[in-house]
């Protein structure tokens, strides 16, 4: 009896979702503005500077302008704005823990690969018995100069198979 009820519920849910006028899986920090209605980047920069922000970069993300820069207190900010009205869609301080995964971009750009000063000395393995030079494991299978005694590798022998 569960199957006949499932289809009407799915159809009802689909009709409600489609009639809402907004995308079903819309992210709350996306902008859905036709490009013909966008204001210029220069206008976005002027608006941001009128807010007292020092603009470092303006890019497009999820259909919004994303402004990276500093506020009046010199805290690093990332602000998404609607490209037609400049309404703030999302505002983040870059030192917050809930930042997007874009944070690591600056770290990768500023990372310099430098070799350590002077020659590199060889590293010895730890003295824990596991890394003795040229010593086989002490498990009875690989005694020096002998073959395993379990018959698994002897010509013509068949391994014992255990099934459960």
pLDDT in tens, the chain (164 residues): 555 566 666 666 656 655 555 444 455 779 999 999 999 999 999 999 999 999 999 999 999 999 999 999 999 999 999 999 999 999 999 876 554 555 455 555 555 555 556 677 777 777 776 766 666 666 656 555 555 555 555 666 666 677 77
Helix (H, G, I), strand (E, B) or coil at 43: helix
What is the pLDDT, as a whole number, of residue 135?
60
Q: How far apart are CA 99 and CA 146, in angstroms?
A: 61
Count the neighbouring beta carbons within 10 Å of the beta carbon of residue 106.
12
Whether pTM > 0.75 for this model: the answer is no
Q: How far apart are CA 29 and CA 13, in angstroms?
A: 24
Q: How far apart are CA 71 and CA 91, in angstroms?
A: 11
What is the pLDDT, as a whole number, of residue 163?
76
Q: Say if residues 83 and 39 touch (Cβ distance below 8 Å).
A: yes
């Amino acid at each position: 009896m569960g199957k006949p009820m499932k289809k009407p519920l799915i159809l009802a849910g689909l009709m409600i979702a489609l009639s809402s006028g907004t995308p079903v899986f819309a992210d709350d920090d996306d902008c859905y503005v036709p490009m013909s209605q966008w204001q210029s980047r220069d206008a976005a920069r002027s608006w941001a500077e009128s807010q007292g922000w020092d603009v470092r970069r303006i890019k497009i993300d999820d259909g919004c302008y994303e402004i990276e820069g500093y506020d009046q207190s010199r805290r690093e900010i990332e602000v998404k704005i609607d490209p037609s009205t400049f309404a703030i869609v999302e505002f983040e301080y870059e030192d917050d823990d809930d930042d997007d995964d874009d944070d690591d971009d600056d770290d990768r750009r500023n990372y310099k690969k430098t070799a350590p000063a002077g020659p590199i000395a060889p590293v010895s393995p730890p003295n824990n018995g596991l890394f003795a030079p040229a010593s086989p494991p002490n498990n009875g299978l690989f005694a020096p100069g002998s073959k395993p005694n379990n018959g698994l590798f002897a010509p013509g022998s068949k391994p014992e198979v255990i099934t459960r």
